[in-house]
Structure 1
Amino acid sequence: MKTIKIILIIISVLFLAFLATGLIVKETKYSAKVEIDKPITEVFNNFSKIDSIKNWIPEVQSVEVVKNNPGITGSIYNVVVINQEQEINLTEKIVAYVPNEKLTLFYDAENMLKKDDYLFTENNGKTTITLNANCQSDSFIMACMFPYFKSTFREQDQTYLNNFKDFIENK
């Protein structure tokens, strides 16, 4: 009986620690970076074309324009992604667009709210894309889980940046 009490106490402490994560950590932040052997104009133009996203993010099944603003900022797209054989519908909004400098995207994917801030710099004809990402959730349980998946999120975004590098350099 004493062993059962100890196990229940350990499980209770772990569960409370898990719930405390959602109270303490309100957002999960990380960054990723890639250097591309192409000029900044070519890199930015190809990166900012919404219809070519399928070339480096293979999970994207379709992209539908909801609102297309002439100045790009404020444009909204519905994106369908297949992840682990499950269809996920998300909304992508362009929050900031500064040609050859910055592209900020906001995603609303069911219980995940994500802001991707891409910064573009050029040095000696090579372009560096730096991603600063911020994930939050409007679901408390999901917010508790995000900090534990930070490395997974970072690896996935790094893979997408590497895929883009391969795509643009072999184009």
Structure 2
Amino acid sequence: MKYTCSIDIDKPIEEVIRLFDNPDNLKYWQPGLLSYEHISGTPGQPGARAKLHYKMGKRDIEMIETVVKRDLPHEFTGTYETNGVVNISKNIFEPINEKRTRYTSEQEFKLSGFMKIMGWLMPGSFQKESDKYLKQFKEFVESK
């Protein structure tokens, strides 16, 4: 399953990247995030791995992030793996002008087991969640 979503943020690209590139800020726009723990590699660089722990409703979800590409301020790509899900997330940042930035998120999900059934039954729920995170990120950045 693949899809793309984007949002325009009323801040310069330098500020958007500064806030995006700090894992301490994740909790402000991903409210279900309980912890972010660096595991290996140079933090934020290709090959680096981190463990993310989320509370989503009644479920505890632990996933492993692996940085695939870091070409900021233009692109940050990572894989996010948990039971039955491999998510390849490509984040692209483009200046619209000196005061606005377009944030585009290209998502690819590879599902197995029970999650494959969920993806087939509710494909829109994945994009809805991505759109929610983009909106929350926009609100966080614009509040700074």
**TM-score, structure 2 as length reference:** 0.92
Alignment correspondent of 2:29:
56
Shift of 1:119: 0.7
- One of 94, 101, 104 as aligned partner of 1:130: 104
The 1:71–1:169 alpha-carbon spacing in structure 2 relative to 1, beyond 3 Å, is closer
Alignment correspondent of 1:31:
4
Alignment correspondent of 1:151:
124
- One of 103, 108, 118 as aligned partner of 2:76: 103
Gaps of 5+ in 2: none
Q: Between Structure 1 and Structure 2, which shows a larger proportion of helix residues?
A: 1
Gaps of 5+ in 1: 1-27
Matched, 1:87 2:60: yes
The 1:59–1:108 alpha-carbon spacing in structure 2 relative to 1, beyond 3 Å, is same
Q: Secondary structure at the match of 1:58?
A: coil
Number of aligned residues: 143
Shift of 1:123: 1.4
Task: Return the letter of the residue paired with 1:134.
Answer: E
Q: Is the 8 A contact 2:44 2:67 kept in 1?
A: no
Instruction: Give deviations 1:21-61, integer Å, cap 9, x for gaps.
Output: xxxxxxx1111111001111111121121221011000000
Shift of 1:77: 0.5
Task: Return the letter of the residue paired with 1:47.
Answer: F
Task: Return the letter of the residue paired with 1:135.
Answer: F
Q: Between Structure 1 and Structure 2, which shows a larger proportion of strand residues?
A: 2
Matched, 1:42 2:15: yes
Instruction: Give deviations 1:105-163, integer Å, cap 9, x for gaps.
Output: 10001111101111110011210010010001243x43243133221111111111111
Q: Is the 8 A contact 1:137 1:143 kept in 2?
A: yes
Q: Secondary structure at the match of 1:100?
A: coil
Task: Return the letter of the residue paired with 1:112.
Answer: V
Larger gyration radius, structure 1 or structure 2: 1
Q: Secondary structure at the match of 1:90?
A: strand
2:120 and 2:95 map into 1 onto residues whose CA distance is 32
Q: Is the 8 A contact 1:48 1:103 kept in 2?
A: no
Q: Secondary structure at the match of 2:47?
A: coil
Task: Return the letter of the residue paired with 2:108.
Answer: N
Q: Secondary structure at the match of 1:127?
A: strand
Alignment correspondent of 2:91:
118
Task: Return the letter of the residue paired with 2:101.
Answer: T
Runs of 4+ in 1 over 6 A off after TM superposition: none
1:107 and 1:78 map into 2 onto residues whose CA distance is 9
